[in-house]
Structure 1
Amino acid sequence: MIVAIDGPAASGKGTLARRLADYLNLPHLDTGLLYRATARTLIEHGQNLSDVHAAVAAARGLSLTDFDTKELRGRDMGEAASIVAAIPEVRQALVDMQRSFAARPGGAVLDGRDIGTVICPQAEAKIYVTASPETRASRRALELKGQGEAVDYQAVLEEIRRRDARDASRALAPLRLAEDAVELDTTDLDIEAAFRTALSIVEGKRSKAAARP
């Protein structure tokens, strides 16, 4: 089965997607890394993040197999990725790569911001993971602190709000709740409670699919 996990920055969707993939024994793709890797390529070559031609070329040159996830998950790369992801041509260039991953035998778990709405609208299970901006900023600040970065909570909160606005207002594939997705608010949930709830949603969808004639 295909499990689509969407949601804003620092909502916990990536952690949940990885846990679900491990539990269900399915391959997992953090699609946000595609945009982070695209941004990193532009930065390494001294190119402007808003250069459409260069960004598309960088996106088309990506491979799914050799991401340095520690480097890509840094705060600066997240902001850069948000800029690149707002370019319609870049999103279009990465569609086939994501859909090919989802089409693997047995299915896959993908997390991002347009999985249930654009990449895999046919996904059997769709979960939209969210949390308050303040909660998400606190989580991100703790994560960055754990990575040894100096953290200003207020700056992180403003960055979260800025990314939310950019993701929701972009012309192509804006961040939104798919009509058939289940919304999971993790504001007051720890990871174990969130995982149990997400797994219950997926198992429920799988049972319904198995019961169909």
Structure 2
Amino acid sequence: MVPVSIAIDGPAGAGKSTVAKLVAKRLNLMYVDTGAMYRAVAYLCVKDGVDGRVERAVRELLDTHKITFEQGADNGLRVFVDGVEVTARLRDPEVSALVSTVATHPAVRSQLTDWQRDFAARHSVVMDGRDIGTVVLPNATVKVFLTAAPEERARRRQQEYHQMGYEVAFDDIVRSVIERDKKDSERALAPLREAEDAVRIDSTDKPIEYVVDEIVQLVENAHVR
């Protein structure tokens, strides 16, 4: 049977990972968190003190260290560096601040895109990111562009930081969200944009369950179950 692929794109803090994970669970598909892959590279930069702006240095990290992924019990992606799980560290503020920078490097994107396409070729997947429906899986079975107001996305990110023990000012997070949107949308390689055939869903003030229902309905309407 040809694998099914559901692409969920959108800006930071729109709820992509949470929604994608729940959709995968509902449909019994594999969830691939592409953002976690890029965060793993940013984590390595922070850990090894490498300047994430220097592509050659970041590329050498990928050659030096082994990054692997496993499906977790909660249907999420567990990330390992040299055999040590680092999943819990991928949301550290230092990592979040750097991930958009390392994601601009062609060598990094090429390597990670290969990993992502390999997952989708071997499994039926729900994959979220910023260029899944436009670059990674342009022929995805269903494409969704999930967004939300910047203030709503900042509020969600502040809650994540609080749960991890970090206290970050709301206004600073709003500025960071807007700056991240600008970087992701204006980068030359695989910019954040809505695929022409994607269904746009605004999650502002919507319960997560409602958004999940919308996407599951799209999949069912595509007769892929």
Show the counterpart of 1:74.
92
Show the counterpart of 1:113.
130
Show the counterpart of 2:204.
187
Match of 1:62 among 60, 64, 67: 67
Bigger proportion of residues as strand: 2
CA distance in 1, matches of 2:146, 2:114: 24
CA distance in 1, matches of 2:55, 2:89: 23
Match of 1:142 among 159, 182, 185: 159
Identity %: 41
Bigger proportion of residues as helix: 1
CA distance in 2, matches of 1:147, 1:42: 21
CA distance in 1, matches of 2:203, 2:41: 29
TM-score (norm 2): 0.87
Match of 2:26 among 14, 18, 23: 23
TM-score (norm 1): 0.92
TM-aligned CA deviation for residue 151 of structure 1: 2.2
8 Å CA contact 2:43–2:89 kept in 1: the answer is: no
Show the counterpart of 1:86.
104
Secondary structure of the residue aligned to 2:43 is helix
8 Å CA contact 1:3–1:125 kept in 2: the answer is: yes
8 Å CA contact 2:143–2:197 kept in 1: the answer is: yes
8 Å CA contact 1:5–1:17 kept in 2: the answer is: yes
Aligned residues: 207
TM-aligned CA deviation for residue 198 of structure 1: 1.7
Secondary structure of the residue aligned to 2:67 is coil
Aligned residue identity for 1:55: V
Show the counterpart of 1:159.
176
8 Å CA contact 1:35–1:59 kept in 2: the answer is: no
Matched, 1:98 2:103: no
TM-aligned CA deviation for residue 55 of structure 1: 1.3
CA distance in 2, matches of 1:123, 1:58: 31
Show the counterpart of 2:37.
34
C-alpha distance after superposition, 1:40-71 (max 9, x if no partner): 11222221111111212334542223512221
Aligned residue identity for 1:104: R
Deviating runs (4+, > 4 A) in structure 1? none
8 Å CA contact 1:56–1:93 kept in 2: the answer is: no
Matched, 1:198 2:201: no
Runs of 5+ unmatched residues, structure 2: 71-77, 80-85
Match of 1:52 among 52, 55, 62: 55
RMSD, matched Cα: 1.5
